[in-house]
A = this chain, B = another copy of it.
């Protein structure tokens, strides 16, 4: 395996399809870069799994991505970021970007009253990863976290503008709004699809932080720092790999990427 070059692809992985919102942002912000996306659809979701199991899976995927010659690894999964990021940074010879720090940093920058809301899966909220990342930057910030377990299946159903989605968003978010948060981190890669409904429910006074956007921006900065950006005019090739059920992946990918995926590969890990 030769050392990665600036023309090498960026590896992106998630427990399933949610991380495609990060891939979409990478494509938008870094149009010269090629991407290899790995969705661990055979073992999704990671949220309810133990930290050790999530670390084992993350290690397997990172090993696969490295073997494909990636120049950086983006952990586009909040659970894997919460449990496996320090381990991956230690063991991988390429830069590793998680989804938690970029969102936390943007939230601290955006908040004027120090009341920051975070929404995510049960696993992400229980991991307190956003609490830690925000407090590392702003020790006096108040972090109000809330798990919104129905948002993922609503996003996957494509019910982004349904009356039920609005009711559910109200139930989840009104307690946060009442605590006067002025900034809300969408701490799950599925949630950008529900941004319009979430924005409507929390109102214009609350700034929404989209971790997918922030993570892509951070990846761009990191590559620029290391002079590893692909040249303008590079041949761009995106690959999509899933560990199971590629048909389901293809159906969802169009919803998440906003564009069709032409081909898929299936790779079994573990």
Contact = CB atoms under 8 A, between A and B. Distances in A.
Interface of A: 41-44, 48-50, 53, 122, 149-150, 152-154, 156-157, 159, 162-164, 167-168, 171, 244-245, 248, 270
27 contacts: A41-B48, A41-B49, A42-B49, A42-B53, A43-B43, A44-B48, A48-B248, A49-B244, A50-B244, A50-B245, A53-B244, A122-B248, A149-B157, A150-B150, A150-B154, A150-B157, A150-B164, A152-B153, A153-B153, A162-B167, A162-B171, A163-B167, A164-B164, A164-B167, A164-B168, A164-B171, A270-B270
Contacts of A44: 48
A267 to B, nearest CB: 13
Contacts of A244: 48-50, 53
Contacts of A122: 248
A170 to B, nearest CB: 9
B163 A153 contact: no
Contact of A245 (B49, B156, B164): B49
Contacts of A248: 48, 122
A50 B41 CA distance: 10
- List the 6 closest pairs (A to B, CB-CB), nearest first: A164-B167, A164-B164, A153-B153, A164-B168, A48-B245, A48-B248
A152 B152 CA distance: 12
Q: How many copies does the complex hold?
A: 2
Contacts of A162: 167, 171
Most buried by B among A42, A150, A154, A167: A150
Contacts of A159: 150
Most chain B CB inside 10 Å of its own CB: which residue of A154, A167, A168, A171: A168
A248 B163 CA distance: 30
A57 to B, nearest CB: 10
A6 B152 CA distance: 45
Given A41-B48, A150-B153, A270-B270, 20 more contacts: A41-B49, A43-B43, A49-B244, A49-B245, A50-B244, A50-B245, A53-B244, A122-B248, A149-B153, A149-B156, A149-B157, A150-B157, A150-B159, A150-B164, A152-B153, A162-B171, A163-B167, A164-B168, A164-B171, A167-B167
A167 to B, nearest CB: 4
Contacts of A53: 42, 244
